[in-house]
């Protein structure tokens, strides 16, 4: 499932072929994904210039000249394919249509953006740009982890007195938006905090120290996504999934990478999600 760094990488891949460009044709090949598409979606997209491509949490937001914003959620399996880019940054020939191509946007430039989603947990919606922040999917989201509102005093206040494990607190989208299972595991490893520790038992100082670690973990993944983006440009134009190297995620039974630690990465299930951690150096 794409997390914040993957979504940001997709946004960065789409930006050069969408921003400032006009949607010449839109094709919507089914009535819904996770939810029904908005009414008259084709008409509301056709002829619109994309003013800006933004990201909020795991959502991509395309502000249109009409004053509406197109919200795109990749869901579990959503992929974006870019073809026909006239500048040759992405694959040039349009591929044959595939079964799960649900939305196809042809830009005036000749570039085509295809949204393919076999499992259909993705979503698209249209709303007035001015009301973006009150959209039901966005209204309850906490601050962006890379933004200024996510800071040491804020996180310390949010963890204080909380009885849930710190892992669950960091996954709570009302506390911080866009963090998923993988990057919370990686953050807690770098912070040497056990995922099982109660949030309220973490000192204010340690809670505050989590903030720069969260940012570093996400920025490292975005940087890695950027390098895979360069590879994708030369390959098949597909954006959405990247191989990252993780310190703990998916490494159950392997040696801990902390210098001087002879621990073995363990796995524990919390709220139905696997937490990977080193029981030796994460306390
Ligand atoms: Zn260790």
- For 99-106, what is the mean pLDDT? 95
Cα(272) to centroid(ligand 1), Å? 24
Residues annotated as catalytic are 2-3, 58, 273
d(CA 200, CA 203): 8
CATH of domain 4-134: 3.20.190.10
224 vs 68: which has the higher pLDDT? 68
* CATH of the domain spanning 152-277, picked from 2.40.40.20, 3.40.50.1110, 1.10.8.50, 1.10.3720.10: 1.10.8.50
- For 21-30, what is the mean pLDDT? 97
SS3 state of residue 188: helix
Please, what sign has the CA dihedral across residues 228, 232, 233, 234? positive
Strand order in the sheet with 112-116: 23-28, 101-107, 112-116, 79-83, 238-239
Cα(259) to centroid(ligand 1), Å? 8
Cα(258) to centroid(ligand 1), Å? 5
Q: Which of 64-73, 87-96, 163-172, 177-186 has the lowest mean pLDDT?
A: 87-96
Give me the percent of the chain exceeding a pLDDT of 90.
Answer: 81
**Hey, where are the domains in the chain?**
4-134, 152-277
- Token pair of 219, please? 């920025």
Determine the pLDDT at residue 243. Answer: 63
Cα(250) to centroid(ligand 1), Å? 15
Q: What is the pTM of this model?
A: 0.92
């Amino acid at each position: 499932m794409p997390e914040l760094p993957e979504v940001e990488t997709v946004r960065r891949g789409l930006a050069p072929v969408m921003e400032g460009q006009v949607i010449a044709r839109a094709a919507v090949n089914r009535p819904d994904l996770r939810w029904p598409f908005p009414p008259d979606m084709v008409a509301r997209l056709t002829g619109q210039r994309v003013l800006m491509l933004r990201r909020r949490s795991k959502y991509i937001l395309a502000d249109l000249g009409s004053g509406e914003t197109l919200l795109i959620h990749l869901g579990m399996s959503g992929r974006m394919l870019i073809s026909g880019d006239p500048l040759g940054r992405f694959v040039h020939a349009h591929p044959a249509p595939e079964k799960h191509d649900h939305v196809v946007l042809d830009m005036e430039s000749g570039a085509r953006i295809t949204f393919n989603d076999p499992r259909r947990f993705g979503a698209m919606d249209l709303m007035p740009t001015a009301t973006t922040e009150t959209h039901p999917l966005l209204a309850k989201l906490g601050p962006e982890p890379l933004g200024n509102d996510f800071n040491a005093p804020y996180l310390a206040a949010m963890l204080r007195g909380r009885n849930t494990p710190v892992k669950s607190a960091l996954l709570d989208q009302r506390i911080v938006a866009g963090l998923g299972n993988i990057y919370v595991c990686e953050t807690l490893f770098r912070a040497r905090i056990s995922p099982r520790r109660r949030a309220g038992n973490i000192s204010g100082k340690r809670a505050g120290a989590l903030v720069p670690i969260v940012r570093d973990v996400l920025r490292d993944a975005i940087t890695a996504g950027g390098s895979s983006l360069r590879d994708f440009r030369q390959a098949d134009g597909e954006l959405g999934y990247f191989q990252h190297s993780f310190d703990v995620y998916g490494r159950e039974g392997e040696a801990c990478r902390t210098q001087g630690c002879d621990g073995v990465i363990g796995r524990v299930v919390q709220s139905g999600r696997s937490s990977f951690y080193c029981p030796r150096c994460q306390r």
